[in-house]
Structure 1
Amino acid sequence: PALYAAIATDTGWFRFSSRTPETYRVVAELLQAGAVPAEIYSDLYERDTIGRVRLRGRILSRTADELSGQLVHTYVLKEDFSETGANPPDTEDAINLTLAVAGTKVAVIFVEQLGGGFKISFRSRCPVDCNTLARQFGGGGHKAAAGAFVEGSLNEVKDRVLPPVRQAMADASAR
């Protein structure tokens, strides 16, 4: 189940361009060995704690959009964990909440770390290269998904990170 879950999540449940014919061959072998996709999906996404649900509510309530809804961003503060009963790993797929907004081309989430600073996740559904953005802040990843860590308050971090995102979007739309 773990290997199937890793492949399924890395490929966005087989929606992302990262899938290949080899991906499907491996998955076929896993299915023959007994992997049950519906059970794996349910275990991953349909067994939320009340804390995680409450945290998602906060994330959604803080969601902001810019550039006619093409840039969507939100944040999590460290006190949100104690106040909602959620845990830091509960933010791992939170960026997908922002990607669900119709018209989103780039999504960014700022997650304050318990020791200070912010983990930033970038996602793109357009020519904007998330890896290039993340590398500006000492991070990295892939073209469509990347992350970085930036020290500072929420406003300081947003003021450092969002202008390059806006510029990358402007550059991509000018091509």
Structure 2
Amino acid sequence: MADISPLAAKRCNSSSLCSVSMDTISSLTELEDLEKVYQQLCEEEKGVEAELDRLVGQEASIHKKMQALQRMGPSLQLIGSDASQLSGMITFTCSLAENVSRKVRQLDLAKTRLYNVIQRADDILDLKFCTDGVQTALRNEDYEQAAAHIHRYLSLDQSVIELRGFSKSSLCWVFTSRALPDLVNISAVRLVP
């Protein structure tokens, strides 16, 4: 009696197809060995039939699922197209928001500069008012009014005064050159820090 080697006569599970090779069957000479191989093949056939029945039983369910997937195909394409459009819109909106943000920063900078210019213009007008006031007061010999204008001048921002090319000493010189010496000395002592 020829022994069937485990490699020659493999059992198979339901997920793979296997059987005893034809060479093994041809080499068998004993009836007992042939019956064993036959029984093994019958058992394999039963397993294959059971698997086939199970798969055939799922055919209706699989068919329904396939139909549902086929119906979803155009919808999925539409969703893909919509997602692509949405991505483009988001990208456009993002770049638009960045542009708006840049413009807002530019406007804010322009507003700050404009505010500084207006402030500087107000300071220059104040300076002009002070110098004109001092000159007018000195012409009219109103020394108290001239001293008030000089006091206001001394309280102005130093950068405005430097912008105009005046210095505190130059305005005091204008005052001292036109006023009475003793009145100037009294005012200068009070005004000059």
More strand by share: 1
Pick the structure with greater CA Rg. 2
User: Per the shorter chain, which TM-score range?
Assistant: under 0.3
More helix by share: 2
TM-score by length of 1: 0.22
